[in-house]
Amino acid sequence: INAAFIESDYFFSHALAIKLGLRAEYHHLTDQLQVNPRVTLAQKLGKIGQVSLAYGVFNQEIDSELLFHANDLQPERAAHFLFNYSLKTEKNILRLEAYYKDYKDLVQFNGEAQAPSNLSNGGSGFAYGFDVFWRAQNVIKNMDFWISYGWLEHQREYRNFPSRAMPNFSTNHNLSIVTKKWIPDLRSQLGVTYRIASGR
């Protein structure tokens, strides 16, 4: 794959800016050219806050095992829409993000992946959810901790799925808690991580 990317920032004011981008990819194996736009609009809220909106189209290369059976398949595509709010102080970082993803040209086939038949780019799907991230440094002396939580609703009709369903690599709920404690006398750091996710 050969790729080229161009990006430009424009500042409407010291608090409002836009980033425009364009990415071109040429896939030698399938002899296809893909051109995808990207745009982000960001607005500062005072000295510690910012909101941003983003849109972009992204490609995902087809598994080589599937291209062996049908080398005319197009790359799978996804359009991303994101809203982000972030707040940063000396001791705290808070980030909230909501998103929606629209999947197109997903590969579909009959049978098993080792011997597929009727391959096409007829699949589609969507994903939406939100992420929360909070990090606190030295709120408690010599301690750094962060908490992240994500909720996701994800449905695809692709590969050999008989109907639209959540892929087995996705989970609805994910929680992570990380703490790090610096011990000056030992010049050492102790870390503890706890993670939990809903079933697949």
The predicted-structure confidence for 120-167, as pLDDT tens digits, reads as follows 999 999 999 999 999 998 778 889 999 999 999 999 999 999 999 999
Q: Mean pLDDT over residues 50-65, rounded? A: 91
Q: Contacts for 148-153 with beta carbons within 8 Å, 24 or more apart?
A: 148/174, 148/175, 148/176, 149/173, 149/174, 149/175, 149/176, 150/174, 152/127, 152/128, 153/127, 153/128, 153/129
pLDDT of residue 141: 85
Span 104-121, pLDDT tens digits: 999 999 988 888 989 999
**Cα distance between residue 101 and residue 80, in whole Å:** 5
- Residue 121: CB atoms within 10 Å: 19
